[in-house]
Amino acid sequence: MSRPARLILDRAPSPIGELLIVTDEAGLLRAIDFHDYEPRLDRLLKTHYGAPRPDVGAAPATIRSALVAYFAGDFAALNTIPWTTNGTAFQHAVWTALTEIPAGQTITYSELARRAGRPAAIRAAGHANGSNPLSIVAPCHRVIGMDGTLTGYGGGIERKRWLLTHEKAL
């Protein structure tokens, strides 16, 4: 588990609510969430980093501009955001697999488990997906139920629907 010397919290507007962007002193994204889930973000930071509240400051311009570009329709901009975060090896495999789902496409939880290298671990893949600290950047909104239904999303189903519609996956 790598503990950064410092965590920095920035806030940025988006079409679906204010984003909370947590970076480290090296300019790497550590977490991103929505303003109405700030207590969850605080718990995540405490769990992963044992850290007190992050310092208030600006995220690197490259991260902010990539998020603006994504919301403007440049979906590949997310792939330019450098990130690292703590978690288990399997969680990292799941989160990395999420980053490899192209915008405009969706996959099922069973496919996510397969892509993470453990095809029988569907529930574990779902749990790792649900604890993804990199909302939007590791696009967990692109994972749907076997029957095509929109299943749980940490930012709420309406945001998931908006993101998938934005990416023309719906």
- What are 20's strand-pairing partners? 11, 33
- Site of tokens 């908006």: 162
Residue 51's pLDDT band, with cuts at 50, 70 and 90, is low
Instruction: Give the integer Cα–Cα distance in Å for 57 and 4.
Output: 15
pLDDT in tens, 136-158: 999 999 999 989 889 888 889 99
Helix (H/G/I), strand (E/B), else coil: 20: strand
- Site of tokens 């400051």: 57
* pLDDT at position 2 over 80: no
Residue 1's pLDDT band, with cuts at 50, 70 and 90, is low
Mean of the per-residue pLDDT values of the chain? 94
pLDDT in tens, 52-97: 689 999 999 999 999 999 999 999 999 999 999 999 999 999 999 9
Task: Clarify whether 96 is annotated catalytic.
Answer: no
Contact 29, 22 (CB under 8 A): yes
> Which two structure tokens, joined as six digits, stand for 125?
């893949």
Strands 107-108 and 19-24: unpaired
Determine the pLDDT at residue 62: 97
The catalytically annotated residue of 59, 125, 140, 143 is 140
Q: Which distant-in-sequence residues (6+ apart) come within 8 Å of 130 by Cβ?
A: 140, 152, 154
